[in-house]
């Protein structure tokens, strides 16, 4: 949620209420209403929270080769959703971003974008639930991952994608 999105919601609310004859809100009143709906005390605290600096997050680029295998593994099996796809032309390599629970991965068929055999460490909440979810999809792949409870950092489910990239889903030790 961004400030621009909330301002747009406030304009929409104000317009809707005016057109329905329910109320005539000022712009400031509609901003306050939207801020409350978003869980903030008022518009000032909402805008301050949304403008606060956020830490930078890296997005790894993993090299992939086969589009069907990529979608089957990352989307169907692991449950990632496609954020965007890009090709310079229909017959050129695919570049796409997938997301699951705030984790972003870029997957690229372009030569030079990543090296097969890379390893990515992915912090995960409730590794046991994630493991059960994967096991319910055993029919999609030939993998049968387990949980390594003695892995450095905490319990880990490690998977190799079809291109030999290692994905290490790890629940942090407390």
What mean pLDDT value characterizes the chain? Answer: 90
Give the pLDDT score at 174.
64
Q: DSSP 3-state assignment of 37?
A: helix
The answer as to whether 121 is a domain residue is: yes
The answer as to whether 47 is a domain residue is: yes
Do 147 and 128 contact (CB within 8 A), yes or no? yes
Which CATH number do you get for residue 106? 3.10.180.10
Measured in whole angstroms, how far is the alpha carbon of residue 79 from the centre of its chain? 10
The answer as to whether 154 is a domain residue is: yes
At 41-71, the pLDDT tens digits run 898 888 888 887 777 778 999 999 999 999 9
Give the pLDDT score at 147.
94
Give the pLDDT score at 48.
85
- Residue 47 shares a structural domain with residue 70: no
Give the pLDDT score at 116.
85
- Residue 130 shares a structural domain with residue 47: no
Q: How many domains in the chain?
A: 2
- Residue 120 shares a structural domain with residue 152: yes
- Residue 79 shares a structural domain with residue 120: yes
- Domain of residue 12 covers 3-51
Q: Taking residues 88-103, report their average pLDDT.
A: 93
At 4-43, the pLDDT tens digits run 888 898 899 889 888 898 888 888 899 998 888 888 889 8
Give the pLDDT score at 62.
97
The answer as to whether 56 is a domain residue is: no
Do 73 and 161 contact (CB within 8 A), yes or no? yes
Note the pTM of the prediction, 2 decimals.
0.68
- Residue 69 shares a structural domain with residue 25: no
């Amino acid at each position: 949620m961004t400030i621009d999105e909330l301002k747009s919601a406030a304009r929409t609310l104000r317009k809707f209420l005016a057109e329905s004859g329910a109320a005539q809100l000022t712009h400031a009143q509609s901003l306050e209403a939207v801020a409350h709906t978003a869980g903030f005390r008022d518009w000032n605290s909402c805008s301050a929270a949304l403008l606060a600096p956020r830490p930078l997050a890296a997005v790894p680029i993993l090299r992939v080769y086969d589009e069907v295998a990529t979608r089957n593994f990352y989307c169907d099996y692991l449950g990632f959703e496609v954020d965007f796809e890009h090709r310079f032309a229909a017959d050129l390599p695919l570049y796409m971003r997938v997301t699951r629970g705030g984790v972003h991965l870029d997957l690229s068929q372009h030569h030079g974008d990543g090296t097969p055999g890379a390893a990515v460490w992915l912090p995960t909440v409730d590794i046991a639930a994630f493991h059960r979810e994967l096991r319910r999809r055993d029919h999609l792949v030939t993998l049968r991952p387990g949980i390594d409870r003695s892995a450095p950092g905490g319990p880990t489910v490690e998977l190799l994608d079809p291109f030999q990239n290692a994905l290490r889903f790890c629940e942090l030790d407390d």
